[in-house]
Structure 1
Amino acid sequence: MNDVTIRDEVIRLGQFLKLASLIDSGADAKTVIADGLVHVNGEVETRRGRQLRDGDVVSFQGAEARVLVRKP
């Protein structure tokens, strides 16, 4: 599992997929999320704007990335 550190308390799912290098573009994110291919904490997620928080785990095509919020 890949840990991906973010600056803010939350990040949207579409942005996180790109940041974690699980997909190449925002258009790709929109498609794979709408098709139900992305899981958040083990559950299918179809909302690109879903807000992720510290500890959430995103999986796509066998790859996983965990959200870590940078502590000040």
Structure 2
Amino acid sequence: MEIIKIKTPFIQLQQLLKFAGVVEEGTDAKILIQEGYVTLNGETETRRGKKIYPGDEVLISYDGQKISLKVDGENI
């Protein structure tokens, strides 16, 4: 599981996938999310703008790959 540190109270799901280097383009993130390849805390998430908070876990499963991300925040 990769830990992704953010300096803001939350990050949108589409932005998280780009920030973590899972995708290069926002359109790629959009496709993964809308096609149901992304789960948030064990539930399928299809909203690109879903707010992801520290402590949340995101799993991306596609093309036989699984990428696991956990969001961690800094004390602001």
Tell me the C-alpha RMSD between the 2 structures: 0.9
Q: Which amino acid aligns with 2:55?
A: G
Q: CA deviation at 1:24?
A: 1.9
1:65 to 48, 58, 69: 69
How far residue 70 of structure 1 moved from its aligned partner, in angstroms, is: 1.2
Aligned to 2:24: 24
Partner of 1:43: 43
Amino acid at match of 1:17: L
**Structure 1 consecutive aligned stretches of length 4 or more whose deviation exceeds 2 Å:** none
> Can you give the 5+ residue segments of structure 1 that lack an aligned partner in the other structure?
none
1:26-72 per-residue CA deviation (whole Å, 9 max, x = no partner) reads: 01011111101101111100000000001101111211011111124
Q: In structure 2, what is the Cα distance between the partners aligned to 1:36 and 1:64?
A: 15
Paired residues, what number?
A: 72
Distance in 2 (alpha carbons) for counterparts of 1:42 and 1:21: 21
